[in-house]
Amino acid sequence: MKNLSIAAIVLLMSSVFVACTSDDDTGPTPIQSGSLAIMTKATYAPVTTNSLDVNFLEISSFKVNFEEIELEYNDDFVPESFDNDPYYDSMDDIELEGPFEVELMSAEPVTIVDIPVPNGVIEEIEFEFDKGKNSDSDLYNKSMKMEGMLDGQPFVFWHDFEEEIEIEFEEGNQDLVIQNNESEVIINFDLNEVFGGIQHVDMSQATDGNGDGVIEISPEDDDGNNQLAEELKQAIKAHIEFIEDMYED
């Protein structure tokens, strides 16, 4: 079964539990389940962007829009009842339909979803970035937006790319095992690496080309920062990762 919304997952799980607690033993074999909270945050401390200690960068807001989140199970670690159940027969992933708009610069990780999920081993989580469709949102027609100060001058970066990003659990010999337990996953956007790492984006090249007092960085700005917007997009995508102690029993 594909393209399950969060409400549909809860409803289907509830239906299975009701069936297995009735007096009629002819009902479907119940799916054993746990719960999973998917959380996200950005890691960032203000940094200088080059060796001359100029272009001090502060970020006040960083928002992203996920159109969909997909949980992919490892086929080798799915209980037999999972395969035989009429609700989850042959399913190897769960697709959570958004949109999910998230502010990543919160002091604590932000919970995107907290839902019941079938037991098994989840091998990767996939995020689908897409343009926001809510005309009242800061992310309208944007998939991400960042605001802050660059060397004392306001800057705004945004992009409207549509792309899927896959993050695998198997790296580092770590597994996300759902076994009648409560688990949480924290997805980290490592902005320290984006702006201060060995191959950081050089923000000193940003300009206020139209002289309006705001440095605009986007695929279609008037300040001449289109190439910088592409570099920022690629760097941010490359530094999305699971942080240590990413889940709990």
pLDDT digits (tens, 9 = 90+) for 37-48: 999 999 988 766
Contacts (Cβ under 8 Å, ≥6 apart) of 52? none
Contacts (Cβ under 8 Å, ≥6 apart) of 216? 155, 156, 208, 222, 223, 225
Q: What is the mean pLDDT of residues 163-191?
A: 81
pTM: 0.78
- The residue written with tokens 């919160």 in the block is 106
Question: How far is it, in rounded angstroms, from Cα 4 to Cα 15?
Answer: 15
Question: How far is it, in rounded angstroms, from Cα 58 to Cα 63?
Answer: 15
Highest mean pLDDT among 16-20, 114-118, 207-211: 207-211
- The residue written with tokens 């306001």 in the block is 154
Instruction: Locate the domains of the chain by residue range.
Output: 6-242
Query: What pLDDT was estimated at residue 48?
Result: 60
Give residue 166's pLDDT band: very low, low, confident or very high (50, 70, 90): confident
Query: What pLDDT was estimated at residue 242?
Result: 79
Query: What pLDDT was estimated at residue 13?
Result: 45
- The residue written with tokens 């100060």 in the block is 149
Query: H-helix or E-strand containing 236?
Result: helix 226-238
pLDDT digits (tens, 9 = 90+) for 6-35: 554 444 444 333 333 334 444 444 466 788
